[in-house]
Amino acid sequence: MSVASNKTQWQRLALTAVFILGLWEFLRLFSSVLTPFVVAAGVAYFLDPAVSRLARLGIRRSMGAGLMLVAGLLFIALFIVLLYPVIASQASVFVTNLPSYIKTAQADFATIMANLQHRLGPGAMGQRLQTLASNQAGEILGFAAGTAENIIGGSFAVVNLLTLFIITPIVAFYFLRDWPDIVRHVDSWLPRPYEGLIRAQAVEVNRILAAWIRGQAICCIVLAVVYAVGLTIVGLDLGLIVGLTAGLLSFIPYVGTVLGAVTSILLSLSQDPGWRSVLEVAAVFGFGQALNDYVIQPRFLGDRVGLPSVWVIFSLFAGGAAFGFLGVMLAVPVTATLGVLARFWLRRYLQSPLYLDAPPSG
């Protein structure tokens, strides 16, 4: 390798390192104000295929972008008009009854511990352990409620109504209108010797990301409807709000279902103590998870998405810990990109002399 070539390689590595560090610091400093722009970019990425189809039919991109955004805003407005009164009513009931829910959870766990003590025999479980278990049930429920309040409050403190309904649609419109120009400009900046290689990896990232977003959107919508309708049918007082929340949180694999099931079981015990209500709630969530595992994901995701559930969960929590709400939104795109790059470098390694050549003989 010549000196000039070696120097160029080190320059590329230094430039890459400076870019990554600069991007990290930029996100850290401006994470609170970047949220509407990232949301707008996500909306534009999601709607670009539809706007491109309209453009092929002869409709200008500006007109197509406006039509798609208006349709999306009308759908959100209709959803709010139809469901907001019920959701607000159930949320008010939950806040009002939260102390009684905590007391009921403590009493239920105390009863369970007493039954275990009776079955296992005297001395098997100490009184302090029983008290600790019953107290922890109430503390867990209180912690979950406080966490939800903090998340909702923090999200709306950053993404307030002005941002959601004015700034984000405007930025999304410009992103949608100029999307081909943005892609073309970024493509023109690629280093010429590696442009084909970089484009191939970008296409793979786009394929994985588009399939994941489409599949998870369908999954969340279907599960939200199944859980909300099912819990309402079985008579859970807060069935609508718990079911919708569990479904929307299902973009984190299994987390939405588990949290929704635990919350629903605790609420059902406080509303109607007995195994029948617990079994009905468990049947709703079992049916929803089975529908997701055996119908939705094989049909809309299958083997096309190279994003293992463990990595998705880790990336979402890591992104949230690093950059808050902004990090959660960026977690999956970053994970998809890193996954494609890791598989690319693994293929290069398996074809390299470092892997194939035998070690020199002694």
End-to-end CA distance of the chain: 27
Percent of the chain topping pLDDT 70: 77
Give residue 88's pLDDT: 74
pTM above 0.75, yes or no: no
Give residue 318's pLDDT: 87
Give residue 144's pLDDT: 52
Report the distance separating Cα 36 and Cα 27, nearest Å.
13
Give residue 262's pLDDT: 86
Report the distance separating Cα 208 and Cα 344, nearest Å.
14
Give residue 225's pLDDT: 92
The answer to whether 72 and 173 have CB atoms below 8 angstroms apart is no
Per-residue buried b or exposed e for 129-153, using 16+ beta carbons within 10 Å of the residue's own CB: ebeebbeebbeebeeebeeeeeeee
Which segments in the chain show pLDDT lower than 50?
A: 124, 147-159
> Which amino acid appears at position 196 of this protein?
G
Alpha-carbon distances of 62 from 174, 334, 337, rounded to whole Å: 8, 29, 29
Report the distance separating Cα 240 and Cα 225, nearest Å.
9
For 62-124, what is the HEC assignment? Answer: HHHHHHHHHHHHHHHHHHHHHHHHHHHHHHHHHHHHHHHHHHHHHHHHHHHHHHHHHHHCCCC
C-alpha dihedral, 303 to 308 to 313 to 317, nearest 10°: -120
Q: What is the pLDDT of residues 235-244, one digit of tens each?
A: 887 888 889 8
Q: Tokens 């610091």 sit at which residue?
A: 25
Closest Cα to residue 175, out of 33, 40, 333, 329?
Answer: 40
